[in-house]
Every structure is written in C-alpha cells, then in structure tokens.
Amino acid sequence: MHPAVQDTATASPAIDARTTIHPITDAPGAHTPTSPPTPIASASTYAPKPAPPAPALLPRAAQQAPPAAHLPLIAGQAEKPSTKLPTSHDLFSMGASVSQWCMTYSPYTSSGNCKATSDIRADVASIASKGFSSIRIYSTDCNGLPSVASAASSHGLNLILGVYISDSGISSARPQIQEIISWAGHNEGRWQAVEMIVVGNEAVFNDFCTAQDLAAFVTEARSAFRAAGYSGPVTTAETVHVLTDHRDTLCPVSDVVAANIHPFFNGQVPAPDAGRFVADQLARLEQDVCPGKEAWNLETGWPKKGDANGKAVPGTSEQAVAILSIRTEAGGRSAFFSFVDDEWKGEGELGVERNFGCGDLFL
C-alpha cells in the first residue's frame, strides 16, 4: 500500500479522490531510472462478461458492528448467500467466499529486511487458517514469489501476483515479468493458482509513470504472460480517482478493473460506513468508469493508530468496526490490508501508514 490522505472537497463519500501524497515503497531498494517503454500491441484472450447490476446495499442499521465483546471477527462463520457482488468471471472463480476473499502480504521484517522462508511459511499458514482463499503480493523481491507460492500451494491458497513499479520507472520493473514466467514455466498447475496479475500498484497516482506508459506496459506484460501460458486477467491497481481520470487509457488494457479503495482516506467516511463506501465505489467502477469490466478492490482496511482524517478516526475499536463493515458489504471482492502492521514503513502524514495490520481480527 502506498496510500495518501484522501479528503474530498464534497460531502459525498462516493468519490475516491486522494489529494495529499505521501508514497511508501513496498519494494525497498534503489534502481536506476530509465526511459519509458515502447508500446507492444497485444490482444487479450481474457473475455470479460457484461457488467453486473449494482450491488444491493444493506440498510444502514444493518451495518452497525456488534458490541466490542463480539470482536475480533470470526472468519469462517456461516452466512446467508448473497448475490449483491457476483464473484465469478469467464475463466476463474475469484472471491470464493461471500464475505472473505483475500489478504495482502509483504515478506518484510519490521526493519525492512527479507523474512526467512520459515517465517513466510508460518505467515501464509496463518492467513489460510483464517479462512481466506487468496493472498496478494506486490512484487517478486525477497524471493517472495517462490516462498509465498510454495506455502500458498501447501494450504490451497490462490495467488494475486504483482509487478511493482517504483519511482525508478517502468524499465526497472520489467525483470519481474521474466521472474514470474521463470517461476511458472509452462507448468499449468502453477498458472492455474494465479487468479490475477497486477502490473503496477498506484504507479500513476504516485507519479512513477504516466497513464499512457502504464497502459503500454500492461499490454506488454500481458503479451509475455499469454505467450508463457497464462490466460487469466491482467490489470493494474490505482485509486478510483486515477481510474476515473484516465478511463479511456486504462480501461481498454485492463481485463478487470482493479482499485485500492481505502475508506479512511476519505474524510467524510466514519468507520461504520466503510463497507458501504467500498460497495458504492465498486458499483461506480463497474457502471460508470469501466462499463463491461468486473471490479475488484485490491487493497482496503483501516488504521488502528494515528491522527484523524475528518470523520475517519483511527483506533483499535474503529478498525474492528470498519473491517466488519467492509467484510459484510464487499468482503468477497476485497483484499484486506494488511496481514500485520508494516513497521518498516515511515509513519506518513497522519501517522497511520504502519498501522493497518488486521490479521488478528480474523479467527
């Protein structure tokens, strides 16, 4: 996550517009900036289905969290089936749970060093035990791909892989494409475990590249992955605001539309309304921003400590309320951020960047 303070100019929480930028790098390490890539034309073989209807929103009273004594959340509890956010597409069945799909994971210690393989395996085992069906990683550094993938395979977890674009630009990200291909080879079993490949994480939002260069890179990456045997969705992850501003450029090259939807960074959204905010933004992405594309929330959560952002107040109880709200309204389409606090990051402007760890809220 490289979140920035999101404070809209209007009273409506339906707009995801971050205005103050304080990026944090998920992949430590300096790289030498290089020139933008040359676009490579490629037609995707992924066939998205028509846009689904808008998600049905729960009555506001139904969003209220249970008393604190009932928290943390119980990840595997039985729930009534819901169709408010369809969770399948033509080639995969993503979002296997109505309320719980994915957890984000970065293989770093609190000091920013790479975790030992044994620690990664223990973390992945814990994520699986909490009822998640998928795990999202942002890049291939720290030997994360083979280590996380091996552990995920042992516990039946699917993978959302990332090609991370840093402030060094797109050229420095290109080797990650080959790393993913080398890991998978032509092993159909490994590719089948990959639900999605995400090329760039808020790269345009953080001014690491232009929307035009990102679109060309997504196309280039898809072409390479298709040639290597991967037939699933390839996309990028940006804020809803960026996707809206650059819809004509980014929607055509994205097999599914993917956004990082953080209710906390909209100062009009209190913790109990976090899930409604996420569901509204997913519907907006599917209906207005990229019609005909399925929408996925690839990063979402709430900080347990830091400074308030308008009506969005961090805190342990507030985090539990917000996570439960998101889980109830859009958990089957959301990747929860993050498994543990990212103590290796800077605190950020509101002092919240390290404090999104929420794995302990899922039993």
Instruction: Please tell me which residue in 179, 195, 202, 318 is annotated as part of the active site.
Output: 202
CA angle 298, 241, 231 (to 5 degrees): 40
Dihedral angle at the C-alpha atoms of 39, 41, 45, 49, nearest 10 degrees?
Answer: 70
Measured distance CA(26)–CA(34) in Å, rounded:
20
Instruction: Please tell me which residue in 220, 299, 318, 329 is annotated as part of the active site.
Output: 299
Is 299 a known active-site residue?
Answer: yes
- 104: which strand partners? 136
β 257-260/194-201 pair status? unpaired
Is 202 a known active-site residue?
Answer: yes
> Are residues 312 and 265 in contact, defined by beta-carbon separation less than 8 angstroms?
yes
b (16+ CB within 10 A) / e for 302-318: bbbebeebeebbbbeeb
Dihedral angle at the C-alpha atoms of 155, 158, 163, 166, nearest 10 degrees?
Answer: -60
* Residues acting as catalytic residues: 202, 299
